[in-house]
Structure 1
């Protein structure tokens, strides 16, 4: 039975599918599912509805709300819980509002219905990446405020657009604006990944994404002849050099058991273009590569290697960058660091096993770190398959609810970190 057939067999009036409220459902889960139903899907995300949703919640919780339009149609929403000593550096809880596209024919349920099955699994685009974290932040603060708690440090929640397409009209612009500077950020939390084991993965740094297009020029002619120095021959040499390096890194990851995906350079050929007709040898071809480089790699030496591969392929071979991120800042995970000590100590108190890694892709954390602020990538989803950007993305409601408890403890600890030497 196909996925489409299964979806069509769903009851038409199932309240969990239609978006009606279930009186027996935890209100935090209901809010999470409401947020999931807002179609902030690229390339045309409904940001206006998302911002109104967040404003409504901020008003309910008595939080200050600020909206910063970093460019037309791209608004950063900031909800602020003021601390008792606002001169201290603040805690920033960041999340993005957009989600990646879907191929609905491969989904068991409508990816924007937030359908919950009998096991409590909530299916929706953004269930893991990362609307769960947004609502967990909110509900953790709701819980703390209901308990009458107050903390010295101010807590900001930032909800940013366009992370899924690079953050160039979102966090990258925001960190350069005076409104970000006035947040007085001391430490930030952002997204991580699910972990199928009992362990929680924590990310203290990220790879540098390099997107390059290699262009080759060669002799054209009739498709029946053995023409010398064709673009295809040169492109073959380029691709061979790049993919041989890819295989070496792949084997290194397999053979050195202590390594994770974040510790090696990933490289993939993602686009190949050239030619106009079957019987015409093209004079030009191009290939696009997505390269992700860990912070342990010398970027200057790596680019020299790219240049050497292109030079070895022959004359008329060049490359251009479509993205070249070079900041290799990482956040301290030493117990002597007060922020990490508060984070890791709280997790130990909750008997959480942490695994520290370099994030294998890229998130908005890289812009926060580049601006000089420590940031940790963390999504409290253990015993959960990694399904970000995948079909049938889901999160179990019990995992979601536990994440609220985890964030409540983490926010309490981080917002209570004693004044640092620079703040005295």
Structure 2
């Protein structure tokens, strides 16, 4: 047989193999391009199944989701499954790998179960809870925020267990935590958990890994070491009503627009600073008008309203103090505020405006992101280098459950292991999606991160004690 004939047969055999490979892996051709065997195929199936559970607020299918999580934890070989709830129907779950040295504080890998609502009519690529794979991306509400990360944790631990042999388990206990209600403020989720006996006696966290943002560049992950704090408020003003055919010098609506002029002028300054890249979004105080209304005229067109109000969503960066923000509000309202507490709320009343806070978080905590100053962060950085990942410190511009964790005295770093996401951050947007290649790379990174935090790196935590026996909770306690 001549060389040309032999070459033809080799090319033909290679073509047959490539043609049938996707069938052997039980994936579509696009999915097969990122597969490395059954482990990846099963991980993708797990991800799709989880994303198909509608956990959108305000009525998340928590029971269905927790049942699924229980089975996923079992498939990953994790024991010690607990279901918990701090308000009827608002369910969370945790599954664990008990460490060889249980007196050491645990590594907690956190994600939230709930997602924001999705308007099906706005989704062009696929329905929001179909978890369809389109051009190598899994499209679903929650794919970025943040169900994918929860599945990556489980898959990383499953692969570590398969590789470790007699070296399993690791020194520190590892918990995979799934919390409810992050998208509605976390009061009935993480905020309650950090004040519970489950947190203190069973989880005993030394560090918590949480969400951040996906990255468009390959080989780069953001490390969220702090976040902006939400200040939500209503500002009201009042003045005498008048006939719609008159031209009074002062009205409630005019006062409202004078306030809006100040708010929007400040907002534009911050927007330009971000647009010109002089500052990152997480470094500026952001403010948006989310509602405005008038009343006191009986809804009549020919009566000038006596009352007007706006609602603001402010996001305060961790470097700004409470006094600085209050001073800014005084500047906007053009008068010294008489700050006083009423029914647990901080109110400002002057001759023209009244400010009432709906929510006001004061948690200007920032984690150390210098290897020379923190052995814990050094372990995180080593994990990045081991996977050729560059880690970039970043202030999260929105809010996460990490604020409650930091308030409880536990270090919290947000690391979303999704790089090369060319569509960028799509949190809360239509057609939210994640490349399967990024999903796979992230699993590899979390494997190394867990290995460093729970086994290789010898860092100390306040949760480390000489000898503690973790107490299991009864179903009544949970």
Question: Under a length normalisation based on structure 2, what TM-score does the superposition of the two structures give?
Answer: 0.81
Q: What are the Cα deviations for residues 111-167 of structure 1, in whole angstroms up to 9, with x where unaligned?
A: 1111012x3211111111101000000111111111233211000111011111111
Show the counterpart of 1:236.
257
Which residues of 2 match residues 7-406 of structure 1 at below 5 A?
26-60=41-75, 61-107=77-123, 108-117=125-134, 119-147=135-163, 148=165, 149-182=168-201, 183-198=203-218, 199-255=220-276, 257=278, 259-275=279-295, 276-312=299-335, 315-335=351-371, 336-384=373-421, 385-406=424-445
Alpha-carbon distance, 1:85 to partner: 0.3
Show the counterpart of 2:448.
409
Find the aligned partners of 1:222 and 1:109 in 2 and give their Cα distance. Answer: 53
Show the counterpart of 1:9.
none
Query: Please, what is the CA RMSD of the aligned residues?
Result: 1.9
Q: What are the Cα deviations for residues 368-415 of structure 1, in whole angstroms up to 9, with x where unaligned?
A: 111101111111111112111111111111111111111011001010
Compared CA separation, residues 256 and 32, structure 1 to 2 (3 A): closer
What is the number of residues matched between the two proteins?
403
- Stretch deviating more after TM superposition (318-327 or 198-207): 198-207
Q: What are the Cα deviations for residues 318-349 of structure 1, in whole angstroms up to 9, with x where unaligned?
A: 11001100011111112131210000111012
1:372 partner SS: coil
Find the aligned partners of 1:103 and 1:211 in 2 and give their Cα distance. Answer: 25
Alpha-carbon distance, 1:253 to partner: 2.7
Alpha-carbon distance, 1:309 to partner: 2.2
Alpha-carbon distance, 1:66 to partner: 1.2
Find the aligned partners of 2:355 and 2:388 in 1 and give their Cα distance. Answer: 50
Alpha-carbon distance, 1:306 to partner: 0.5
Q: What are the Cα deviations for residues 191-226 of structure 1, in whole angstroms up to 9, with x where unaligned?
A: 111111222111000011100110111111111111
Structure 2: tracts of 5 or more residues without a match: 1-26, 29-34, 337-349, 467-478
Alpha-carbon distance, 1:421 to partner: 7.4
The structure having more radius of gyration, on CA atoms, is 2
1:146 partner SS: helix
Alpha-carbon distance, 1:299 to partner: 1.6
- Stretch deviating more after TM superposition (36-45 or 308-317): 308-317
- Stretch deviating more after TM superposition (107-116 or 271-280): 271-280
Find the aligned partners of 2:86 and 2:458 in 1 and give their Cα distance. Answer: 33
2:333 partner SS: helix
Find the aligned partners of 1:407 and 1:62 in 2 and give their Cα distance. Answer: 16
Find the aligned partners of 1:298 and 1:58 in 2 and give their Cα distance. Answer: 42
Find the aligned partners of 2:380 and 2:245 in 1 and give their Cα distance. Answer: 67
Show the counterpart of 2:460.
420
Alpha-carbon distance, 1:308 to partner: 3.6
2:129 partner SS: coil
Find the aligned partners of 2:437 and 2:324 in 1 and give their Cα distance. Answer: 47
Q: Does the 8 Å contact 2:386/2:448 carry over to 1?
A: no
Q: What are the Cα deviations for residues 171-207 of structure 1, in whole angstroms up to 9, with x where unaligned?
A: 1111111111121111110011111122211100001
